[in-house]
Amino acid sequence: MTLNGWFQILVFCGILVLIVKPLGAYMTRVFSGERTLLSPVLVPIERGLYAVAGTSEKEDQHWTAYAFAMLLFNLLGTLVLYLILRLQDVLPMNPAGMPAVGPELSFNTAVSFVANTNWQSYGGESTMSYFSQMTGLAVQNFVSAATGMAIAIGLIRAFSRASGKAIGNFWVDMTRATLYILLPFCIVLTLVYVALGVPQTFGPYVEATTLEGVKQTIALGPVASQLAIKMLGTNGGGFFNANSAHPFENPDNISNMIQMLSIFAIGAAFTNVFGRMVGNQRQGWAILSAMGILFVVGVAVVYWAEAAGNPIMHAFRLEGANMEGKEVRFGTVMSSLFAVITTAASCGAVNAMHGSFTALGGLIPLINMQLGEVIVGGVGAGFYGIVLFIIIAIFVAGLMVGRTPEYLGKKIEAKEMKMAVLAILCLPLAMLIFTAIATVLPSAVASIGTAGPHGFSEILYAYTSAAANNGSAFGGLTANTPWYNVTLGLGMLMGRFLVIIPALAIAGSLVAKKTVPASSGTFPTDGPLFVGLLVGTILIVGGLTFMPALALGPVVEHLVMIAGQTF
């Protein structure tokens, strides 16, 4: 660990904090239906889309109607994407002549991109045509991110409205998220990436001959446009198999910093949106502070572990940081920071191979996902995820002082607690049960690349990444098999929609409750005490749930490394 390394981390954190308030203000105006700089151009398009969809910005929906619209839209998106992949060989824009994608892989990929997971059991440049990449995967990158943003806004309205029955209109919220936020920023980011050297072309792959006379195929394509939404929408699915470690997706340290900021920008800004819409920005800063504490601790552990290097290598007098699986142009600090960012958010993009990290370095990305990726999290998904923990924390605080739990004037009662616990428990259900089965199923065990605790970590990481809607991989696991394609797809569905439905149910329950004025006995939720309670609740719930599984994987591997043994 060096002073220069920490300076780079502080630069990232400083820029992010500066982004939060202006972006939060803009997003609040968008979702409130207020005029913005882009309104003269986009309002006619927006109203035209409403006319086609048969809805109106004045039409509010009950939470059940909101949920039904969301589920219907995502179901249709899954079917359309599945058909695109299955018919890829007969569809246009396929200069490399890619064949149709198999049924299990098509199911896995369709679910993955619709659920904003973007897990890839394939190499993008060797499997997907330009048509599949652009009209299939990239489109879902936009609308799956917009779906998460819509759910978060619906939940925020439940707290901000004094009383009512509706939480907004899913079609309106999703349209505004796409038109006013994702599309404009992605257009700008695409141009920036092209200027930095990221390809954006419909031309065929290039044939080249090396100095040794070996022929090589260099994959190209419309990379910059997909890269922009891949990061901003916390999707993570790479155009290339190497993802953001590939020089065509991440040419240098400038593009690397832009990508890291893009991953966190909208998720962090949602805390400010929340504060503005409930009329107290300190509430948003308190939530962001809790996220920030968990994030900084995670970065410190990973950076320390990777900078310290591998104890087994030190036994052979090979000192220095652990650079295995890392790009030299990013080094230890930027690789460590990127790994924590991408797993703290539900992004899954990688600029280094997490399976090559030290045991403790790989432990933190696992924990980040197992906590539900509430440390900033995905666009919208991170916010409604941390609200679930807020409800539990407030309920615990109420029990300790013998008062009815309240948050922002809304009473937290049995229904809200049941829904919050249901949503939180569905993640370990998907992560741990599938992992347990895979570790004893011979065909599943045959897919791991390493024996011992690291092999167990490969399986645990895969199901954790799927259920957390992250999409990153530990590496070494051959996941393109019928077992993994189907079960990982099921894990993605559980991790996405079995969290969204209870979250919307909570929104529907809270919006119907009248806001109770604060009194002298009201627990303050905008100060350090609340931040500490929230952080403690997240860590205790996550620790009690996942510590036994982690002890079988990265913890054992670390102890083995200290002992100087290998498998």
In tens, the pLDDT along 374-419 reads: 899 889 888 999 999 999 999 988 888 777 788 998 899 889 999 9
Q: What is the pLDDT of residues 230-250, one digit of tens each?
A: 999 999 888 999 999 999 999
Beta-carbon contacts of 413 under 8 Å, excluding residues fewer than 6 positions away, are 404, 405
Q: Which residues contact 39 (CB under 8 A, 6 or more apart)?
A: none
pLDDT single digits (tens) 69-86: 999 999 999 999 999 999
- Tens digits of per-residue pLDDT, 452-502? 899 999 999 999 999 999 999 988 899 999 999 999 999 999 999 999 999
Contact of 153 with 168, CB cutoff 8 Å: yes
Nearest to 65 by CA among 168, 144, 197: 168
How far is Cα 352 from Cα 369, in angstroms, rounded to an integer? 17
Q: What is the pLDDT of residues 338-366, one digit of tens each?
A: 999 999 998 989 999 999 999 999 999 99
Using left for φ > 0, alpha for ψ between -120 and 50, and beta otherwise, residue 408 falls in left
Note the pLDDT of residue 495: 93
Is 458:355 a contact under the CB 8 Å cutoff? yes
- Per-residue pLDDT averaged across 316-343, rounded? 90
- Torsion 167-170-171-175 (CA) sign: positive
Q: Which helix (H) or strand (E) holds 166?
A: strand 166-168
What per-residue confidence (pLDDT) applies to 312? 76
pLDDT at 163: 78
- Mean pLDDT value across residues 43-52: 93
Interval 512-524 mean pLDDT? 82
- Rounded Cα distance, 449 and 566, in Å: 14
- Give the pLDDT confidence of 271-300 residue by residue, as tens digits: 999 999 999 999 999 999 999 999 999 999
pLDDT score, position 372: 85
pLDDT 10s digits, 168-212:
999 999 999 999 999 999 999 999 999 999 999 999 999 888 888
Q: Are 472 and 348 in contact (CB under 8 A)?
A: yes
pTM here is: 0.94
Residue range 164-173, pLDDT digits in tens: 889 999 999 9
Taking a C-beta distance cutoff of 8 angstroms, is the pair 229, 142 a contact? yes
Q: Which residue in the block uniquely carries the two structure tokens 């060989």?
A: 89
Are 137 and 128 spatial neighbours (Cβ–Cβ below 8 Å)?
yes
Closest of 264, 268, 450 to residue 356, by C-alpha? 450
Burial zone of 214 (CB within 10 Å; 0-12 exposed, 13-18 middle, 19+ buried): exposed
* Sign of the alpha-carbon dihedral angle for 251, 253, 255, 257: positive
Q: Which residue shows structure tokens 């920005």?
A: 281
In sign, the C-alpha dihedral spanning 133, 134, 135, 138 is positive
What is the average per-residue pLDDT within 100-120?
Answer: 95
Nearest partner of 116 among 542, 485, 465, 487, judged by Cα: 465
Backbone torsions φ then ψ of 416, nearest 5 degrees:
-65, -40
Instruction: Name the band, by pLDDT with cuts 50, 70 and 90, for residue 565.
Output: low
pLDDT of residue 392: 93
pLDDT at 530: 93
CB atoms within 10 A of CB 71: 14
